[in-house]
Structure 1
Amino acid sequence: MATPRKVLHSSPPDGGWGWMIVVGCFLVTICTRAVTRCISIFFVEFQTYFAQDYARTAWIHSIADCATMLCGLGFALCYSPAIAMVGKYFNKRKALAYGIAMSGSGIGTFILAPVVQLLIEQFSWRGALLILGGFVLNLCVCGALMRPITLKEDHENPSELLKQEYVSKAQKQDLKQISMCSPLMKEWSHECLCHCSWQEYSFLLMPDFMVLAVSVLFMAYGCSPLFVYLVPYALSVGVSHQEAAFLMSILGVIDIIGNITFGWLTDRRCLKKYRHICYLFAVGMDGLCCLFLPVLQSFPLLVPFSFTFGYFDGAYVTLIPVVTADVVGTPSLSSALGVVYFLHAVPYLLSPPIAGWLVDTTGSYTASFLLCGFSMIFSSILLCFARLAKKIKRTHLRSLVKDANTKQQIWTNGTIAYSVAGELDQKDVEMLAIDTNSYCNR
């Protein structure tokens, strides 16, 4: 097959094949995040079959989520690259594109939740997992849709230039020349790769990114246990199996609305510069929902919870890549997203077993849900205070600059210094300087 010719784009196309990338990412989120969420429906089956407590059973879901965010294994090889590709193809409509792409998680949950329950009833949990495995094979089709794009800003990135320079020099040298100067070549290439790596991950020292990273840790800890324990909690308060699965479906379909509407709204000119605020608002609202969950002990009360939590969950999930891109820029988006989703891994691994241990210890879900709610609210408050501190610092710097500009030293004649107010016109200042020089020459 002929190698496709790479076209250099001055800016993201905001359309074209980009919409196929969105479709591919949409299918990826269905096959990864939606399937992982549906493990919550298997929770009671696993617990009954293996006769284990909540904490040990929760490791099944937490390890799957952690491996997706942490390793280069399984879902991780599909999820993070697909999300990064959307950011490369879109700029003006980035939030909308991410809203559509990430809505696959909600649509998949809406469809798969009742289907998985039916599969468990018909084929047991083993047969249901086999069928889900066949469905996940469609990730191969999603990968075929991904097409790399080369942007002008990528060539302006020093790390990319160094990589290209290294490749071009290596190609020009024959095997004999390389063998003669192999120690020098190895040393130079090592320095080049180290410099490239530093340039690629220099965003790690940005204060804004460090605050976002810490906030993500607390947010990920708070959101993960709910998807594991919503169905078991509903069953514990007397909700039937079908109704409990229906709660997951409601959460999934409202998640879609949150994805698309928040993506569309934050692309508007009036809200585009307030994406951070929209993100922390959505995270805080999900935290409040978790705080109220222990008092909702019937199906009619759990339905509004699924609506509210699902909507704001879809909202902030859509904004995570957008906010990350606003902080680090598009050239570093792929690496930054890798770090952000890597930070999801540890909370995803630990929070469900910790929540399960609290359920086993206290005999109720109250402590687990309260801990989740306060964790998400703290994540939101942390970002809020960081934004306020940054705004106060900017205001202080502007006031200092304004004060410095109000008085300027115009000229000096011997020991006498003359100063005038900043309100003087620049032309008047120049005329005064000319008159002073002529007087001194006399």
Structure 2
Amino acid sequence: MAQKKKLLTAPPDGGWGWMIVVGCFFVTVCTRAVTRCISIFFVEFQVYFGQDYSRTAWIHSIVDCSTMLCAPLGSYVSNHLSCQTGIMLGGLLAATGLVLSSFATSLEYLYLTLGVLTGVGFALCYSPAIAMVGKYFDKRKALAYGIAMSGSGIGTFILAPVVQLLIEQFSWRGALLILGGFVANLCVCGALMRPINIKEEDFAHCQLNQEKIPDEPKKNIIQTSTCTSLSQDCTHKSLCYCSQQDYSFILKPNFIILASSFLFLAYGCSPPFVYLVPYALSVGVSHQEAAFLMSILGVVDIVGNITFGWLTDRRVLKRHRYVCYLIAVGLDGLSCLFLPLLKCFQLLVPFSVTFGYFDGAYVALIPVVTGDVVGTSHLSSALGLVFFLHAVPYLVSPPIAGWLVDTTGDYTAAFLLSGFSMIFCAFLLGFAKVIQKIKNKQQKPTVLASDTRQEVWTNGDAVHSVTEEMSQKEV
């Protein structure tokens, strides 16, 4: 007899969940850290192919853009097949792209293999792995995400010198070949992503959305009650509806505001990473000290991931994680505004510490805040869209900042635009929070005056009152 899968009543907040965190940690190492390390190959590509910096720089932009642009594809595969299948398939594609890149004969060849193929492979791995952490954790969610997302900073800190050493020993072709073998470990990470079944949790959204439509026949509720983003048992008749349910949160006002804010956030956070070293060199900082600024930023980024995640899991701050997130984004943007005033190494070090810490802080809270808005059952699909929204700003923000530098002759305009973009993101979220509180206060007297047998069902930010339905049954 086939053994029945055990249904849990709540996320375990531990146990195999820590293996999920470890798997997600190494996924971020193999995706985001490796993407950052691709910039180390720039000089080698320029010399070998005889191309200028702008054409060579498109490789990094295409990898980043492909990873974010195809993130919904990763969510779709994990929802309708499994997270394990999606990550293993992505690992094979990414490793194949890096191996094929070692045989490159032109930059156009690298655009396709290193840019598109590897980027799509990373997309299939990144958002599903992050979503799995949210399904295994509730009380310790922010801490779990802080540890998992720190893989990007730790991986960059370790891989950067290793990749440089590989290039010196085996040339750029050999380094890409070895890097392809390393990225193939994503298949091992995928094997760790054991599915979890939480009793009735996944059905809540389907039922809530059905009950909000008065004219919807009850037979549709029964038919689609098996539609779940963690375990798909949909027939071909209900497959279309299941896909619709995966993205039923898109038109929610809270998600629309959150998604809009990510456009400004993604634009603002990219230029400081790209232009910090060139700016430091332009004000007289030595090459060694400029590189050290990036090392400081990377290490402090890791500290921000873990410590801010731990702090926002405390009882005092857990209710206010949304506010903590927008404060971290706002302070990150504020530090960018002061950057043009810092003209020496001693003043740039505090910037690296401040910007790095709050960058790590808000990155760790992005999945947490998204899960609070859409609910755990839709987290994978929501993260796919969230990372999709990062694609275009990631692609265009460095060229726009470079154009501002070329036009004005300094970095002031580029850093100011970056800072104001992040501050506007925090302002937009804060304004939405205030409006929501005002509406809640206005609705509170109505709720208190209603039938005492009224029930409220919640999942994420979805709220549905069944008072009217109960009254109809009594009649």
Q: TM-score, normalised by structure 1?
A: 0.78
Alignment-derived partner of residue 67 in structure 1: 66
Does the CA contact (< 8 Å) of 1:41 and 1:245 recur in 2? no
Q: Which of 328, 338, 354 lines up with 1:292 in the alignment?
A: 338
Q: 2:133 aligns with which of 66, 86, 93?
A: 86
Q: Deviations along 1:131-190, whole A, 9 cap, x unmatched? A: 4444323222212221111111125553551579xx9897xxxxxxxxxxxxxxxxxx44
Which residue, out of 153, 169, 191, partners 1:144? 191
AA at the equivalent of 1:105 = S
Distance verdict in 2 for CA 1:114–1:248, change over 3 Å: farther
Deviations 1:339-386, CA, capped at 9 Å, x for gaps: 111111111111122222222333322222111111111000000111
Secondary structure at 2:202 match in 1? helix
Which residue in the other structure is 1:154 paired with?
A: 202
Q: For residues 88-140 of structure 1, what are the alpha-carbon distances to aligned partners after superposition, in whole Å with 9 as ceiling and x for unaligned? A: 11111111110110111121122234444555566665555444444323222
Which residue number in structure 2 is paired with residue 12 of structure 1? 11
Aligned to 1:437: none
Q: Which residue of the partner structure matches residue 265 of structure 2?
A: 219
Tell whether the 8 Å contact from 1:286 to 1:376 is kept in structure 2 after alignment.
yes
Contact 1:117 1:245 in 2 (8 A): no
C-alpha displacement of 1:230 = 2.4
Q: Which residue of 2 aligns with 1:381?
A: 427
Give the secondary structure class of the aligned counterpart of 1:331: helix
Indicate yes or no: 2:252 matched with 1:206.
yes
Deviates more, 1:28-37 or 1:390-399: 390-399
SS of residue paired to 2:61: helix
- Report if aligned partners of 1:43, 1:228 keep a CA contact under 8 Å in 2: no
| In 1, Cα distance between equivalents of 2:331 and 2:198 | 37
Q: Structure 1 residues 264, 131: CA separation in 2 closer, same or farther (over 3 Å shift)?
A: same
- The answer to whether residue 262 in structure 2 is matched with residue 262 in structure 1 is no
Correspondence for 2:96: none
Letter in 1 for 2:182: F
Per the alignment, in what secondary structure is the counterpart of residue 23 of structure 1? helix
The question of whether the paired residues in 2 share the 8 Å contact of 1:113 and 1:246 is answered with no
Q: Deviations over 1:231-269 (max 9, x none)?
A: 333333343444333222211111111111111111111
Secondary structure of 1:376's counterpart equals helix
Q: Which has the higher contact order (CA 8 A, sep 6+)?
A: 1
The 5-angstrom pairing of residues 37-436 of structure 1 reads: 37-42=36-41, 50=50, 52=52, 56-71=55-70, 72=73, 73-119=120-166, 128-152=175-199, 153-158=201-206, 159=224, 161-162=226-227, 189-190=236-237, 192-398=238-444
Deviation at 1:317, TM superposition (A): 0.4
Instruction: Compare 126-135 and 287-296 and name the one that shifted more.
Output: 126-135
Helix, strand or coil at the partner of 1:75: helix
**In structure 1, distance between residues paired with 2:174 and 2:233:** 53
Q: Which moved more, 1:224-233 or 1:367-376?
A: 224-233
Mapped partners of 2:152, 2:429: distance in 1: 25
1: CA distance, partners of 2:40 / 2:276: 9
Q: Which amino acid aligns with 1:337?
A: L
CA contact (8 A) 1:32 1:79 kept: yes
Distance in 2 separating the partners of 1:110 and 1:168: 43
Matched residue of 1:264: which SS?
Answer: helix
RMSD: 2.8
Q: Do the aligned partners of residues 365 and 39 (structure 1) sit closer, same or farther apart at CA in structure 2, a change above 3 Å counting?
A: farther
CA gap of 1:230–1:3, structure 2 versus 1, over 3 A, is farther
Residue pair 2:226, 2:234 contacting (<8 A) in 1 also: no
Q: Please give the per-residue CA displacement for 1:387-436, whole angstroms capped at 9, x wherever unaligned.
A: 1111122223336777x79xxxxxxxxxxxxxxxxxxxxxxxxxxxxxxx
Tell me, in whole angstroms, the C-alpha distance in 1 between the residues paired with 2:429 and 2:322. Answer: 8
Distance 1:373 1:3 in 2: 57
Structure 2: stretches of 5+ with no match in the other structure: 74-119, 207-223, 451-475
Cα distance change of structure 1 residues 169 and 74 upon mapping to structure 2, 3 Å threshold: closer
Residues 354 and 226 (structure 1 numbering): CA distance in 2 closer, same or farther, change over 3 Å?
Answer: same
Residue matched to 1:23: 22
What is the CA–CA distance in structure 1 between the aligned matches of 2:192 and 2:437, rounded to whole Å?
A: 42
Which piece of structure 1 moves more, 147-156 or 307-316? Answer: 147-156
| Rg (Cα) greater in structure | 1
Give the whole-Å Cα distance in 1 for the aligned partners of 2:306 and 2:32: 17
Q: Which SS does the other structure have where 1:204 is aligned?
A: coil
**Cα deviations across residues 272-307 of structure 1 (Å, max 9, x unaligned)?**
111111000111111112112223233322222111
Identity percentage over the alignment?
75
Counterpart-to-counterpart distance in 1, 2:47 and 2:389: 32
- Mapped contact 2:227–2:234 kept (Cα < 8 A): no
